[in-house]
Amino acid sequence: MAPQQVRRSPRLAAEARAVPEFASFVATAGPLLMAAPRGDGHPVLVLPGFRGDDDSTRPMRWFLRRLGYQVHGWGLGINVGPTARITEGLTTRFTDLTKRYDEPVSLIGWSLGGVFARAVGGRAPGHVRQVITLGSPLRGTSDAAPAVPVTSIYSRTDAIVPWRASLIAEGPLRENVEIRGSHLGLGHNPSVLIVVADRLAQPHHGWQPFQAPRWARLWLAS
């Protein structure tokens, strides 16, 4: 085995936690749905990470749909990065949703999808309700929409994106929320779902920093 492969093996082994995290999602989805706050029906667009597609975000979209949101995948196939097709397609998808619902859209982006989500918030802040990113490398990216709330969810044990790269400067409408888990499991990690459900349930123009619900504190990093 090459030295580079040896160095990568522990990281890959750490990301194998995504499998039991999915098992935990299956086992706890019912109780989480009962405990999580109900949605107000506003539209939510979920963007996959690099090399992911809408299948990868299906568990989260299923969960949020049952909380009462109008949830949509991005419909662009595999996320291969910021190509012209992806960039133009995302703009079209987002514009179509804002016209269909005639209200701001919440954006959830996993990894590279979170970078895209934040960029959309910068280009069309008046049409974005909030941005939630999952293990996204946001450090050094533009923060061109200060009026749009941004929540960056990260894990110190993320073996794909270094956790410090996901930290944003905290301040008005800006926060970092730590969870326990792998990078590849962020889309179905119960801790992530708790945070996302809490963030989406806030009243429009009534954003407040995240505080772990009492019933959910055992799931979340201290």
Q: pLDDT tens, 43-84? A: 999 999 999 999 999 999 999 999 999 999 999 999 999 999
CA distances from 47 to 29, 74, 109, 116 (A): 21, 6, 5, 8
pLDDT level of residue 140 (50, 70, 90 thresholds): confident
Assign 133 to helix, strand or coil. strand
| CA pair distance 125, 119, nearest whole angstrom | 10
- Residue range 94-115: mean pLDDT, rounded: 97
Domains observed in the chain? 21-137+173-203+210-219 (3.40.50)
Tokens representing residue 150 in the block: 């941004």
Query: Burial code of 179-200, b = ≥16 C-beta within 10 A, e = fewer?
Result: bbbbbbbbbbbbbbbbbbbbbb
Question: Over the Cα atoms of the chain, what is R_g?
Answer: 17
Q: Is the pLDDT of residue 2 over 90?
A: no
DSSP assigned state of 39: P
Task: Reply yes or no on whether the pLDDT at 219 is more than 70.
Answer: no
**Per-residue confidence band for 214, with pLDDT thresholds at 50, 70 and 90:** confident
Q: Which of 105, 193, 201 is nearest to 153 (CA)?
A: 193
Give the neighbor-by-neighbor strand order of the sheet with 70-73: 70-73, 43-47, 105-110, 128-134, 150-154, 174-178
119: pLDDT strictly greater than 90: yes
- The model carries a pTM of 0.91
pLDDT for 14 equals 72
